[in-house]
Amino acid sequence: ARLHALRTLTTAAARIRSVARDRAMSWRTSAAPASTAGAVDATALNAFLRAGQAAATTPGTKLYVVMGNEAADLDSIACAIALATSLDRDGVAAEANERVIPLIAIPRDDFSLRADAAWLLRDLGVDVSSLVFLDDLDVAAPPSGVEIAGLTLVDHNALSPRLAASAAAALASKTVLVIDHHDDEKKYPDTAFVTIEPTGSCATLVFERIAKTRSCARDVLCAGGPIATMLFAAVLIDTQNLDPAATRSTPRDVAAVDALAPRVAAKVGDVALVDASDASARIGFYEELKRRRFDQRGLSPRDLLRRDYKQWTMGDG
C-alpha cells in the first residue's frame, strides 16, 4: 500500500512539474482571442465545478485538490478556482477516474460572510452551490474509496495548525505544488514545485503561471470570462487598487492588472468595466469590492470571527 501511494504521488508530482515549467509564451503577451470551443465562460466553469463536486464523493476517484487558505478571502477563492481549472486544462488529471478540484477551506455556511467574493461570483454567473467546501470534503479523512492523489496549496504554504499532527504530516507529504506570497514556512516536501514570491496578491502569481501556457491564456483567461475577472478583482482588493502608498503593490501586480484588464467582464453589478485598463475606470469596481468586504452591518461577534479567523502556534507551545 505504501509503495502504491508513493507511486501515485510521484506521478502527480511529475505531471504538475511538467505543466508548471515555463512555456514559450511570455505572460506579458497581449490577450489572444478566445476559442469558442475551449473558452472557460461561466457555463464551462460551472460544468467543471459540478463534475469535481460529484467526483469528491465517488468511490474509486483520485483527487488532485487545489486548496486556498483557511481565511478563504477573495484572493484564496479566486486562486483555487483559477489554478484548478488551469491544471485540469493542462491534463494533470489524465485518467478517467482522476479529477482536479478547487477546495474552499471554510464550511459552506461561512461563504456568505465573504460578501465581496459572494457578490462577485454570483454576478459573474458562477454556481456557488457547485463549489466544494470543507464540510463537503475532509481532505484529512476523505470518503471511503476516494483518494487524495495530490495537494496544491495556493495563498498559503503550510497546512492549518488546527489539523491533528498525524493528519497534517500525511497531507503535507502529498503536497506537490505551492503558489504563495506569504513568508515561507518550509513545511512542504522537498519534491514539491514551489513558487513563493513577495507580490501584493497571490492572484498575480497564479495569473503569471496560467498565462505562460498559450492555450490557458486563451481559454482559461478568455475575454469576458469569470476567471480573468476574479483574478483582476483579487489583485485590486489585495493591493488597495495598486496604491503605491499602501506598500503591498509591486510592479508584478501592476503588470498583472494591465494584462488582465482587456479580458475582464464588461460589467459587474452596476459597475462598468468596459475600459478597465484606465486607472480611473477601476476605482468604482475597487470601491464596490471594498465596501462589500468591510460592511459589518448585521454581523455578530461570532460572525466576524467566522469571516476572518486565523490561528498560529507561537514559540514552543
Q: What is the pLDDT of residues 152-192, one digit of tens each?
A: 999 999 988 777 677 778 888 899 999 999 999 999 999 99
Q: Residue 174 region, left (φ>0) first, then alpha (ψ -120 to 50), else beta?
A: alpha
Distance CA 121, CA 106 (A): 16
DSSP state, residue 113: G
Q: Which amino acid is at 22?
A: D
Rg (CA), the chain: 19
pLDDT at 196: 97
Spans of the chain, pLDDT less than 70: 1-37, 164, 296-317
pLDDT at position 4 is 47
Instruction: Please give the grid coordinates belonging to residue 178.
Output: 505551492
- Name the residue among 58, 242, 249 with its Cα closest to residue 136: 58
The predicted model scores a pTM of: 0.85
Ramachandran class of 281: left when φ > 0, alpha when ψ lies in -120 to 50, beta otherwise: alpha
Tell me the residue length of the chain.
317
Q: Beta strands of 128-167 (E only): which ranges?
A: 132-133, 147-154
Instruction: Please state, in angstroms and rounded to a whole number, the distance separating the CA atoms of residues 15 and 10.
Output: 9
- Do residues 227 and 43 touch, judged by C-beta distance below 8 A? no
- Coil, strand or helix: which one is 268? strand
